[in-house]
Amino acid sequence: MKRVSLSKAECPVARSLDAIGDWWTLLIVRDAFDGVRRFGAFQKNLGIARGMLTARLKEMVERGVMTVTPASDGTAYQEYVLTEKGRDLFAVVVALRQWGEAHLYAPGEPHSTLVARATEQRVGRLQVRAANGRPLRWDDTEVRTLKASPGGSVAKPTGRPRRVPRTPRSTK
């Protein structure tokens, strides 16, 4: 896969995608959220080649997404644990899960679910909100690029204003 480096991008979306690298990273993070800690367990869960997993884990440690600790049971194994930076990918993983749940399964087709431990109820759908908590649709928002943002207020719409007409969105 041809990759353009986005590590210096002004856009945090691009910089995040660059830092994450490829899908394996997010699948490893997903498994770590589920309690997987050891190389062999990641390998078994993911069906990933040893060399690929070694490279991904090394990169994740270098980037501060995971850290290596001695085994929690006193054996000689190393364990891989999410850092706070890694745990902060939780919303990314949940957003991917919910998009898949909504759009990639046939009606009635079973899939795993994410529940609140306390209630066994499925977690709510992620909602983008304004600073005051008001729900925002995608077209209630706009990206402010650097040229326009230093002062915080914008005299006129910037770089790439949304030219998409506001169309009714089906309720769901």
Q: Which is nearer to a second copy, 76 or 110 (CB)?
A: 110
What are the distances in angstroms from CA 31 to CA 20, 42, 95, 170?
A: 15, 7, 16, 34
156 makes contact with a second copy (CB under 8 A): no
**Distance (Å, whole) CA 152 – CA 146:** 10
Least distance between a second copy and beta carbon 15 (Å): 5
4 in contact with a second copy (CB under 8 A): yes
Kindly state the smallest distance separating residue 76's Cβ from a second copy, in Å: 19
Answer for which of 23, 74, 106, 108 binds a second copy (CB under 8 A) is 23
Residue tagged 């939780």 (tokens): 90
CA distance 89 to 91: 6
Q: Binding to a second copy by residue 36, rule CB under 8 A?
A: yes
71 makes contact with a second copy (CB under 8 A) = no
In the complex, what is the shortest distance from the CB of residue 79 to a second copy, in angstroms, rounded to a whole number? 10
Does 101 contact a second copy by CB under 8 A? yes
Least Cβ distance, residue 32 to a second copy (angstroms): 8
We find the least distance from the C-beta atom of residue 25 to a second copy, in angstroms, to be: 10
How many residues are listed for the chain in this entry?
A: 172
How far apart are the C-alpha atoms of 80 and 57, rounded to whole Å?
Answer: 8
In angstroms, the CA 115 to CA 130 distance is 25
- What does the alpha-carbon distance between residue 81 and residue 33 come to, in Å, rounded to a whole number? 9
- By CB under 8 A, the count of residues binding a second copy is 102
